[in-house]
Structure 1
């Protein structure tokens, strides 16, 4: 990069210098022609006042000849009357460009190669109408070679000096430009991106500030991403640990009861039926646990095949409450349902799961003779559903983790309360699946309230 910057500066300088020299040459070339032409025109006026004999007797023609100025006097018919270089010129001069121009306009000028003198000349001609003669003066004009011979030495000197100055300045400027990039590279190489955030020095270039700012932001995002991966890794480890523990518990019970029956230790048929009932109960618990794990996994990866339908929300809620009626009676709870009729468009299993899990938890973690308030209504485009209980409540330190898989607040009491520890996690994933909101408020020994809002309301339900 450093060499490329220096090379670019030098190439730019050479192109600019050559263009400038070209413009200078054109300007000097034109100025030289104009000056010589004006000199010849002034000399023509002097010669016009003299006779041919005067040019000979005064030897003025020889004087001009010594100054490389050729004087030619031509008649109107093209015949050459006098030439201070040639004694006799027989060819006519009417076809000469400067002569034709003088006859038409009074004066004429041109630059051309002279066949007589075998070199290029600058010609100036003036037509005298009184005596029908044309006075023509010419002087050698070498054009480019003449100008270059004057400019060559200073041109070579100036380009050498300028080239050295530009080379030194471009090298210094390249160092200033490249140095921040080297500093940025060193900072990146010396920083442990997985642990630290990239921090750069302040540079005087706005463009570099944008680059370093973007790198810093990218580093922050990368660190957040790595932290999230580490956190998810711990969650997965905890999940598999909890899942294996939850699966191991019913399997241990099933194995124990099975071994009792297989060893014929128990002979009483009633006791055998009790053992088999426990095996079935633990099997159902394990099946439910596996189904809940699969449900969460599919919701997280959005691989679940969801069948949407129009659902009468109040009718579904009433059926869920009726299903849980035995548990409600067992806890001697008072349940108050405030529900309005409306239709939603969603998965029946999803909405039923939300109703069942929230009400089931309100029953499990309530107090005997407690109360449950259930509200179901529509709020513009949202279905509003809330369950509030008068149970044991959730400590503040546990409220952030209550929706995690297998997380249960009271470990000792949880052993006596049936459940997989996945209910609230399923509710959270279903709510996020529909891009809804879920809120929890709870106080220890006072109760818990969970509110769900889902944008699934339809204006009119179809007849079929």
Structure 2
């Protein structure tokens, strides 16, 4: 880049210098022609005011000789009345371009090379129609070639000096331009982008702000992305660890009861039935756990085949509460349901899962003789569902993780409470699937309230 900038400066300088010199040459050339033409036209006027015999005796004759000006006076029929070069040159004057122009237009001018005189001349011709006479003057005209030959050495010297000055300045400017890019490169190479955010100096070039800001933003996004990957890695590790543990526990129980029956250690039929009931219970637990894991996986990857239908949510909520009635009675809980009848268009399994998991958690983590308030209502296009309990509550530091897979707040207490630890995670994924909102408020030893808002309301209940 440094060499490219220097080369560009030098190339631009040379092109500009050559173009400038060319324009100057053309301008001077035209100015010289114009000046000499005007001088000859003025001389023509003097010649026309003199008699032919006086041309050699007046001061004008001396002037034209000193300046090597040729004077020719020609009649319209081609007869030469006067020519101060008549002893040296014989030519057909009427065939000359300047003479033709003068006869046609009154005046004529031409620049051409004379083979006889071995040099270029500027010709001016003036035609007097009254006396049918053409006055033609010619003077040597070499353009600016003589001046150029004189100025060539100074020109070459000046271009050499200018070239060196431009070369030094271009290298200095190139260094100033490239230096910020080197600094940016060094900053990038010396920064651990997985842990740090790129930070650049303030440069004198506003154009670099866009680059540095973009790199800083990219660095921030990259850091956040890596942090998210690390977090997801830990979540996956924890997930597999918890999943293995949760699956291993019922498998161990099933294997233990099976070995007892297989070894005929237990002979009593009632005890055998008890073992078989435990095997079935643990099998159901494993099935529920696997189903929950598959449900979360499909929700995360959006691969679940969802069947939508019109659901009367109050009836569905009543049936869920009725299903959980044995657990409610076992805890001696007071459940208050405030529900409005309306219809939503969604997956029955999804809505039932939200109702079941939230109320089930409110039961399991409640206190004996506690209370549960269930509210189901609508507002325009949104369904609001909230469950509030008077249970053990959730500590502030645990509330940000409560919706993670397998996360259970009170590890010791969770051992005695059945469940997979996936219920709230499923609720969260279902809510996000419908682009809804979920809100948690909780206080230890006071209770927990979870509110779900879904934009799935149907204004009119379909007949079918």
User: TM tier, shorter chain?
Assistant: over 0.9
Q: Secondary structure at the match of 2:253?
A: helix
Give CA-to-partner distance per residue, 1:132-177, whole Å, 9 cap, x none.
Answer: 4322110122336355335433332322222122111111111111
Kept in 2, the 8 Å contact 1:385–1:453? The answer is yes
Question: Which segment is superposed worse, 423-432 or 39-48?
Answer: 39-48
Equivalence for 2:459: 459
Structure 1 residue 277 corresponds to structure 2 residue 277? yes
1:84-95 correspondence to structure 2 within 5 Å:
84-87=84-87, 92-95=92-95
Between the aligned partners of 1:313 and 1:237, the Cα distance in structure 2 is: 38
Kept in 2, the 8 Å contact 1:65–1:85? The answer is no
Q: Cα distance 1:130–1:272, how it changes in 2: closer, same or farther (>3 A)?
A: closer
Unaligned runs of 5+ in 2: none
Kept in 2, the 8 Å contact 1:79–1:92? The answer is no
Kept in 1, the 8 Å contact 2:32–2:143? The answer is no
Q: Secondary structure at the match of 1:94?
A: helix
Structure 1 residue 262 corresponds to structure 2 residue 284? no
Equivalence for 2:233: 233
Q: Which runs of 4+ in 1 moved over 6 A?
A: none
TM-score normalised over the length of structure 2: 0.94
Question: Which segment is superposed worse, 35-44 or 51-60?
Answer: 51-60
Give CA-to-partner distance per residue, 1:349-393, whole Å, 9 cap, x none.
Answer: 110000001111111122222221111111111111111112222
Equivalence for 1:6: 6
TM-score normalised over the length of structure 1: 0.94
Equivalence for 2:121: 121
Between the aligned partners of 2:163 and 2:244, the Cα distance in structure 1 is: 79
Equivalence for 2:386: 386
Between the aligned partners of 2:301 and 2:281, the Cα distance in structure 1 is: 30
Question: Alignment RMSD, CA only?
Answer: 2.1
How big is the shift at 1:436? 0.7
Q: Cα distance 1:59–1:249, how it changes in 2: closer, same or farther (>3 A)?
A: closer
Equivalence for 1:82: 82
Between the aligned partners of 1:196 and 1:79, the Cα distance in structure 2 is: 100
1:62-81 correspondence to structure 2 within 5 Å:
64-81=64-81
Between the aligned partners of 2:98 and 2:21, the Cα distance in structure 1 is: 31
Equivalence for 2:420: 420
How big is the shift at 1:420? 0.9
Between the aligned partners of 1:355 and 1:128, the Cα distance in structure 2 is: 118
Question: Which segment is superposed worse, 225-234 or 145-154?
Answer: 145-154
Between the aligned partners of 1:58 and 1:335, the Cα distance in structure 2 is: 138
Equivalence for 2:22: 22
Between the aligned partners of 1:288 and 1:57, the Cα distance in structure 2 is: 135
Between the aligned partners of 1:71 and 1:368, the Cα distance in structure 2 is: 136
Kept in 2, the 8 Å contact 1:6–1:171? The answer is yes
Equivalence for 1:140: 140
Question: Which segment is superposed worse, 153-162 or 58-67?
Answer: 58-67
Between the aligned partners of 1:368 and 1:320, the Cα distance in structure 2 is: 21
Q: Secondary structure at the match of 2:458?
A: coil
Count of aligned residue pairs for this structure pair: 464
Q: Cα distance 1:58–1:391, how it changes in 2: closer, same or farther (>3 A)?
A: closer
Q: Cα distance 1:420–1:72, how it changes in 2: closer, same or farther (>3 A)?
A: same
Between the aligned partners of 1:315 and 1:239, the Cα distance in structure 2 is: 35
1:405-416 correspondence to structure 2 within 5 Å:
405-416=405-416
Give CA-to-partner distance per residue, 1:95-128, whole Å, 9 cap, x none.
Answer: 4332233345543322234465454321112334
Q: Secondary structure at the match of 1:418?
A: coil
Q: Cα distance 1:59–1:295, how it changes in 2: closer, same or farther (>3 A)?
A: closer
Between the aligned partners of 2:214 and 2:88, the Cα distance in structure 1 is: 89
Question: Which segment is superposed worse, 393-402 or 41-50?
Answer: 41-50
Between the aligned partners of 2:123 and 2:9, the Cα distance in structure 1 is: 45
Q: Cα distance 1:277–1:74, how it changes in 2: closer, same or farther (>3 A)?
A: same
Between the aligned partners of 1:60 and 1:386, the Cα distance in structure 2 is: 120
Give CA-to-partner distance per residue, 1:253-278, whole Å, 9 cap, x none.
Answer: 11111111111111100001001111
Equivalence for 2:311: 311
